């Protein structure tokens, strides 16, 4: 394998049907869903004792392809910088599993999937889902792989929310949970950003009540605007200053005349071009309905509101790592501290680290040395204690 090919090289996305018509997935709402297909990838080798599993949970716009490549070595998985031989999620030690989430649009059953009752895509007839439902499918996938329990569950943003829910619902099942840039409860500001994104999608003339799959095009404008809005929240002001400043897209173009009667609203600054590119590129890989379902699911996530959680905390065996970044304003460090207080009050072992990084919420996807060392140390301790 060449260096240019990356540490893992070519990887394959696998698919499995975990729930059939005769044994459907029973959702937290009581609704039933079948069949449920799941796309997933694995990296590394499962130990004979099956005790070296690191389960990765992806964020809102992620998928099963966390590392390696699918044929183009320049297009690698979303967490490729942290997974591989000798990296924090060391595939010489750990067997890594990463699925596309229930409700997703990259191989796992979601709103774009065919509803067996109608033969057409579910659209908005897809049932509402919760983070509990995501965890139910994760556990079913491990069972399919012959794995009773993961050594650790690791995720950033929405991925961290899944790690928390898993540990709280199954208090004797997860030895370690690492939550990066995560929250146990969205603030009003978080919900407001999501509301704007959903409005952009649903007000698009091509949305058609979510039934756009047989149309020439779907709500492309709305989905692109949703992505542009969200992406602003993933970057810090310092990150934008370093990346773009007030640089113009075409420095050689004449400076606009502020007294000219004509107004020019085309792309002028680099940051405008960047956001437009992010919105357009998003259309090739994401489904507008999945965005609606996932963002609403995050709005409603509030596991500590369940009084039974505190009873389960008495038997919790999970050791937690909470990581935040000092410039993340989407889920700033106060979110992690809330989780820390709730867990520590019940005597649950929990470590919290706020790490310096200029890159805001997106820092969890980047190669920030202290962050990587922190995750490495945490997983190493679980490995030695297993």
Assess whether pLDDT exceeds 50 at residue 141: yes
Q: What is the mean pLDDT of residues 8-21?
A: 96
Residue 75 located in a structural domain: yes
pLDDT in tens, 206-227: 999 999 999 999 999 999 999 9
- The answer to whether residue 258 is domain-embedded is no
Q: Are 236 and 363 in contact (CB under 8 A)?
A: no
Hey, how many other C-beta atoms are within 10 angstroms of the C-beta on 69?
18
Average pLDDT taken over every residue of the chain: 95
Angle at 41 between CA 74 and CA 381, to 5 degrees: 100
Structure tokens at 287: 């489904």
Q: Is the pTM of this model over 0.85?
A: yes
What span, in angstroms and rounded, lies between the C-alpha atoms of 358 and 351?
22
Joined together, the tokens standing for residue 151 give 């050594």
For 24, list phi and psi in degrees, rounded to 5. -75, 165
Tallying the residues shown for the chain, one arrives at: 386
Residues identified as active-site: 157, 328, 361
Reported confidence tier of residue 367, pLDDT bands at 50, 70, 90:
very high
**How do residues 247-290 score in pLDDT, each as one tens digit?**
998 888 777 776 766 667 888 899 999 999 999 999 999 999 99
Residues 175 and 94 in one domain: yes
Residue 148 in domain: yes
Report, as an integer, the average pLDDT of 345-360.
97
**Alpha helices by DSSP H, the chain:** 131-144, 158-169, 188-202, 220-234, 237-243, 270-282, 288-299, 308-312, 333-345, 369-385
86/170 same-domain check:
yes
* In a shared domain, residues 91 and 171: yes
CATH number of the domain that residue 281 is part of? 1.10.1740.110
Q: In whole angstroms, give the CA distance from residue 201 to residue 207.
A: 7
- Per the structure, the complete domain to which residue 25 belongs is given by 3-187+302-385
- 64 domain-assigned: yes
C-alpha distance across the termini of the chain, in Å: 31
CB 348 within 8 A of CB 252: no
- pLDDT given for residue 19 in this prediction: 97
Same domain, yes or no: 180 and 325: yes
**CA-to-CA distance for 269 and 340, rounded, in angstroms?**
41
Q: Tell me the pairing of strands 53-57 and 95-99.
A: parallel
3-state DSSP call for residue 127?
Answer: coil
- Domain at 317, CATH number: 3.40.50.1820
Query: Is 24 part of any domain?
Result: yes
pLDDT exceeds 70 at position 2: no
The domain total for the chain is 2
Give the bridge partners for 193, in sequence order.
none
Pair 39, 150 in one domain = yes
């Amino acid at each position: 394998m060449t260096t240019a090919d990356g540490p893992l090289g070519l990887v394959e996305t696998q698919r499995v049907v975990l729930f059939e018509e005769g044994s459907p997935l029973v959702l937290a709402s009581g609704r039933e869903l079948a069949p449920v297909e799941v796309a997933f990838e694995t990296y590394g080798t499962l130990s004979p004792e099956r005790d070296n599993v690191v389960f990765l949970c992806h964020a809102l716009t992620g998928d099963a392809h966390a590392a390696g490549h699918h044929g183009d070595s320049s297009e690698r998985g979303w967490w490729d910088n942290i997974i591989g031989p000798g990296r924090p999620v060391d595939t010489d030690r750990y067997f890594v599993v990463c699925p596309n989430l229930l409700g997703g649009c990259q191989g796992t059953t979601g709103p774009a999937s065919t509803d067996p009752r109608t033969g057409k895509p579910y659209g908005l007839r897809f049932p509402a889902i919760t983070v509990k439902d995501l965890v139910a499918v994760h556990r079913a996938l491990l069972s399919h792989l012959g794995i009773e329990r993961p050594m650790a569950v690791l995720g950033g943003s929405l991925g961290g929310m899944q790690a928390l829910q898993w540990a709280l619902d199954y208090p004797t099942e997860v030895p370690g949970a690492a939550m990066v840039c995560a929250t146990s409860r969205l603030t009003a500001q978080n919900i407001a950003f999501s509301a704007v994104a959903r409005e952009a999608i649903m007000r698009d003339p091509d949305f058609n009540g979510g039934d756009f799959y047989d149309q020439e095009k779907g709500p492309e404008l709305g989905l692109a605007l949703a992505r542009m809005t969200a992406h602003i929240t993933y970057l810090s002001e310092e990150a934008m200053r370093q990346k773009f400043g007030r640089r113009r897209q075409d420095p050689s173009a004449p400076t606009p005349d502020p007294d000219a009667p004509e107004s020019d609203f085309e792309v002028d600054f680099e940051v405008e071009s960047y956001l437009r590119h992010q919105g357009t590129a998003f259309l090739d890989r994401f489904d507008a309905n999945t965005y609606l379902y996932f963002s609403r699911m995050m709005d409603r996530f509030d596991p500590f509101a369940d009084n039974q959680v505190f009873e389960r905390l008495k038997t919790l065996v999970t050791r937690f790592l909470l990581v935040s970044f000092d410039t993340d304003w989407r889920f700033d460090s106060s979110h992690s501290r809330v989780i820390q207080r709730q867990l520590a009050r019940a005597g649950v072992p929990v470590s919290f680290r706020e790490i310096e990084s200029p890159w805001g919420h997106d820092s969890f996807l980047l190669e920030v040395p202290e962050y990587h060392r922190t995750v490495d140390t945490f997983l190493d301790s679980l490995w030695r204690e297993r």
